[in-house]
Chain A
Amino acid sequence: MSHLLEVKNLDVKFDTDEGRITAVENISLSVDQGEVLGIVGESGSGKSVTAKSIMKLNPGNTSYNEDAEIILDNENVLQFTSKQDLKKIRGGKVSMIFQEPMASFAPAIKIGAQMVEQLLIHKNINKEEAKSISINMLKRVGIADAEKRFNQYAFELSGGMRQRAMIAMALSTMPKLLLADEPTTALDVTIQAQVINLIKDIIKEYQMGVIFITHDLGVIAQVADHVAVMYLGSVVEKGPVNEILKNPKHPYTKGLLQALPDINNLDAPLSPIPGNIPSPLDRPTGCVFRTRCPHHNPEGKDGKIEMKLIEVEPGHWVDQCGNKCGQNG
């Protein structure tokens, strides 16, 4: 069966005053129907840029490589240029929950009006139908008084409500693919738990595919089926969530897990991964993590080894260093 989404060999570069920034390099990912792919990784590692590429939402200074493919439902969205085609991936087949909740709603337009407008653009329905779908979806996401909330502005809702309203709007068009960029970061953990359960139910019900971006490994453990770990624009490890969290192979993944503060052991010091992340302007050649890697594989350290994922367990892929990543403890 073909995947719902398949990203193949994607590079994303930005032209800036200081030169060309490689934000994403040679990324390959896939998402099936009803599946949640989690993406975790360093701040600035290219998670949002990757998600935005799927909707072609990156700004004008962006360039993609010629041989990259983003296949959604058997079509390469990177080839899309017409308004009609772009409409399909912006709110049609794909919806995005953005990292900043306020950014999703225009401040001076009521929540309901925005939801209705979106539906009218993407669905062949009238205003009344759009209104009832929207109110229904607000109820589905657990908002009481949905009819009243429908007539309010984003700033009038609490953080948790706003986040849920945003999720309702993203889901109301019944996208095949949902891109959720840090959807719960602004929430306290009780509301976060509610929102996660809700997203899980809806995915099951509609067999939606989801990319869930977060730096919270606990959230990843609770929502994702598969997970990809990104560092400086590259995927360094990916696989089933259980495998990755319980049997991590890449030194960066291990470092992330070790850096996690443990509420049950308050005497343990917080242990960051030593060293600094190189600037995206001078990305290391070879393995991107080699400037901070604790292993001493001389070839990897010299940058002579190219990035390449190898399969160490069924479905568990990790970047190689003449296999050292896969072998060393």
Chain B
Amino acid sequence: MGDNLISVNNVSVNFDYQENFISKKQKIHAVNNINIKIKKGSFFGLVGESGSGKTTLGRAILGANKISSGNVIFHDDERDYDLTDMNKQDLKEYRKKAQLIFQDPYAALSPRMTVRDIIAEPLEVMKITNSRQETDERVRDIASKCRLNIEHLRRFPHAFSGGQRQRISIARALVSNPKFIVADESVAALDVSIQADILNLLKQLQTELNLTYLFISHDLSVVAHVCDVVAVMYLGHIVEMGPSRELFKNPKHSYTKALLSSIPSIDPEKRSEAIELKGEIPSALNPPPGCVFRTRCPNPGVDCKGGEIKMGLIEVEPGHWVDQCCAL
């Protein structure tokens, strides 16, 4: 498949939901009919509403969530992996190639293990190395790439600050030499200085190790800085997607515009010019027909209101896709 690493084709993920054990089963439509291609070596950003399905989609691509319909293909050098059709052996192989960096650097690390053991664990669990010496070499190598000192390896995680812990999580995610990383709110808990440091590190490792990222974040300034392509999600759908500079300079969808206008200004005297969104966020149990954003859209077109418009992305500029009504 040439230069794509991942193809997500018409992927939907539903969860079962039951109010109590006698009531009838319903479905939570967490992710709906998503199509994305992630290029090799790209820093792919995923932003959007809380609860819009970003984590669910990320986990689906990692093979950690069942996919209800559609498929995800991982294009490795030698072969393709179809995530909806993998046997145990394939899944084991795939786990080495695709890794998650957790959101919370405090909660993610076991307090009873030394940093060396935390980083080494994936190697041992996946039986990647054959001797303790080999494991140690891999651990030391990745630790130094993540700017951790050798003497840090003997310590326990609570002796480290948030930024250092995040580097430990990154080292752990990278030690199996993966090709693809899902970073889910990986810098959200960090102050801006440590955040900048970690982002620079991710960028640098991307070049050094030939990595591809799916970067999930609420921080649009961060996404604008590090990502080359961005997709915006709302209630299980991608409503806009494109090269990040183009999308941030020239947003087309009403939700993207509202998002960009709501970034709080660092100037206390600057009154917020946020486009205020009114109306309730619809439930994923009962998504509205037609455009999912229409219950809160500040300027719906005539056709939108009745829900007659179908969701569907249209390419308005090369590589810049927008949900259809907004595109016109």
A interface list, Cβ under 8 A from B: 16-18, 40-45, 144-145, 156, 158-161, 163, 185-194, 196, 215-219, 221-222, 241-242, 245, 255-257, 259-263, 266, 269-273, 276-277, 279-281
Task: Assess whether A43 is in contact with B218, with CB atoms less than 8 Å apart.
Answer: no
Residues facing A in B263-281 (CB within 8 A) are: 263-269, 272, 274, 276-277, 280-281
- The answer to whether B162 has its CB under 8 Å from any CB of chain A is yes
Task: Assess whether B225 is in contact with A245, with CB atoms less than 8 Å apart.
Answer: no
The 8 Å CB contact of A215, one of B47, B190, B245, is: B190
Task: Assess whether A188 is in contact with B218, with CB atoms less than 8 Å apart.
Answer: yes
* In the complex, chain A residues whose CB is within 8 Å of the CB of B284: 158
Rank and list the top 4 A-B pairs by shortest CB-CB distance, nearest first: A43-B162, A159-B50, A218-B264, A158-B51
Task: Assess whether A160 is in contact with B196, with CB atoms less than 8 Å apart.
Answer: no
A218 to B76, CA, bound (A): 41
- The answer to whether B326 has its CB under 8 Å from any CB of chain A is no
* In the complex, chain A residues whose CB is within 8 Å of the CB of B68: none
Q: List 19 A-B contacts (CB under 8 A).
A: A158-B50, A160-B49, A188-B50, A189-B263, A190-B49, A191-B49, A192-B264, A193-B276, A194-B277, A215-B189, A217-B266, A222-B268, A256-B191, A261-B219, A262-B221, A263-B220, A263-B221, A270-B200, A277-B161
Q: How many B residues are at the interface, by size bracket? A: 35 or more
Task: Assess whether A187 is in contact with B218, with CB atoms less than 8 Å apart.
Answer: yes
- The answer to whether B224 has its CB under 8 Å from any CB of chain A is yes
How many A-B Cβ pairs are below 8 Å? Answer: 157
Task: Assess whether A273 is in contact with B193, with CB atoms less than 8 Å apart.
Answer: yes
* In the complex, chain B residues whose CB is within 8 Å of the CB of A259: 192-193, 195-196
A145 to B280, CA, bound (A): 9
Interface mask (B220-233 → A, CB under 8 Å = 1, otherwise 0): 11101100000000
- How far is the CB of A209 from the nearest CB of chain B, in Å? 19
Residues A221 and B265 in contact in the complex (CB < 8 Å), given A270-B225, A277-B163: yes
* In the complex, chain B residues whose CB is within 8 Å of the CB of A270: 196, 199-200, 225
* In the complex, chain B residues whose CB is within 8 Å of the CB of A273: 193
* In the complex, chain B residues whose CB is within 8 Å of the CB of A189: 218, 220, 259, 262-264
Task: Assess whether A218 is in contact with B191, with CB atoms less than 8 Å apart.
Answer: no
Task: Assess whether A222 is in contact with B158, with CB atoms less than 8 Å apart.
Answer: no
A222 to B270, CA, bound (A): 9
* In the complex, chain B residues whose CB is within 8 Å of the CB of A262: 221
A187 to B220, CA, bound (A): 12
- How far is the CB of A208 from the nearest CB of chain B, in Å? 20
Given A193-B272, A193-B276, A245-B268, 12 more A-B residue pairs with CB atoms under 8 Å apart are A187-B50, A188-B259, A189-B218, A191-B49, A215-B191, A221-B265, A221-B266, A242-B269, A261-B192, A270-B200, A277-B163, A279-B159
Residues A43 and B263 in contact in the complex (CB < 8 Å), given A242-B268, A266-B224: no
B interface list, Cβ under 8 A from A: 17, 47-51, 105, 156, 158-164, 188-197, 199-200, 218-222, 224-225, 245, 248, 258-259, 262-269, 272, 274, 276-277, 280-281, 283-284
* In the complex, chain A residues whose CB is within 8 Å of the CB of B190: 43, 215
Task: Assess whether A44 is in contact with B161, with CB atoms less than 8 Å apart.
Answer: yes
Task: Assess whether A144 is in contact with B280, with CB atoms less than 8 Å apart.
Answer: yes
Nearest A residue to B54 by beta-carbon distance? Answer: A188
Which residue, of A44, A144, A188, A273, has the highest number of chain B Cβ atoms within 10 A? A188
* In the complex, chain B residues whose CB is within 8 Å of the CB of A18: 156, 158-159
* In the complex, chain B residues whose CB is within 8 Å of the CB of A16: 158
A241 to B163, CA, bound (A): 26
Task: Assess whether B192 is in contact with A260, with CB atoms less than 8 Å apart.
Answer: yes
Task: Assess whether B193 is in contact with A272, with CB atoms less than 8 Å apart.
Answer: yes
A17 to B272, CA, bound (A): 48
The 8 Å CB contact of B268, one of A41, A221, A260, A263, is: A221
Which residue, of A160, A189, A194, A196, has the highest number of chain B Cβ atoms within 10 A? A189
* In the complex, chain B residues whose CB is within 8 Å of the CB of A188: 47-50, 218, 259
Nearest B residue to A152 by beta-carbon distance? Answer: B19
* In the complex, chain A residues whose CB is within 8 Å of the CB of B264: 189, 192-193, 196, 216, 218-219, 221-222
- How far is the CB of A18 from the nearest CB of chain B, in Å? 6
- How far is the CB of A313 from the nearest CB of chain B, in Å? 16
- How far is the CB of B197 from the nearest CB of chain A, in Å? 4
* In the complex, chain B residues whose CB is within 8 Å of the CB of A271: 196
A25 to B283, CA, bound (A): 46
Residues A266 and B262 in contact in the complex (CB < 8 Å), given A18-B159, A43-B189, A279-B160: no
A266 to B230, CA, bound (A): 15
Task: Assess whether A261 is in contact with B225, with CB atoms less than 8 Å apart.
Answer: yes
* In the complex, chain B residues whose CB is within 8 Å of the CB of A193: 262, 264, 272, 274, 276
* In the complex, chain A residues whose CB is within 8 Å of the CB of B197: 272
- How far is the CB of B199 from the nearest CB of chain A, in Å? 6
* In the complex, chain B residues whose CB is within 8 Å of the CB of A161: 281
A45 to B161, CA, bound (A): 9
Task: Assess whether A256 is in contact with B192, with CB atoms less than 8 Å apart.
Answer: yes
Nearest B residue to A182 by beta-carbon distance? Answer: B189
Residues A277 and B164 in contact in the complex (CB < 8 Å), given A191-B50, A218-B265, A256-B191: yes
* In the complex, chain B residues whose CB is within 8 Å of the CB of A260: 192, 221, 266
The 8 Å CB contact of A160, one of B51, B105, B219, is: B51
Which residue, of A43, A262, A277, has the highest number of chain B Cβ atoms within 10 A? A43
A222 to B196, CA, bound (A): 22
- How far is the CB of B153 from the nearest CB of chain A, in Å? 14
Nearest B residue to A151 by beta-carbon distance? Answer: B19
A192 to B219, CA, bound (A): 11
* In the complex, chain B residues whose CB is within 8 Å of the CB of A159: 50-51
Task: Assess whether B50 is in contact with A160, with CB atoms less than 8 Å apart.
Answer: yes
Residues A266 and B193 in contact in the complex (CB < 8 Å), given A44-B161, A245-B266, A260-B266: no
* In the complex, chain A residues whose CB is within 8 Å of the CB of B245: 266
Task: Assess whether B191 is in contact with A43, with CB atoms less than 8 Å apart.
Answer: yes
Which residue, of B105, B160, B188, B266, has the highest number of chain A Cβ atoms within 10 A? B266
Nearest B residue to A230 by beta-carbon distance? Answer: B191
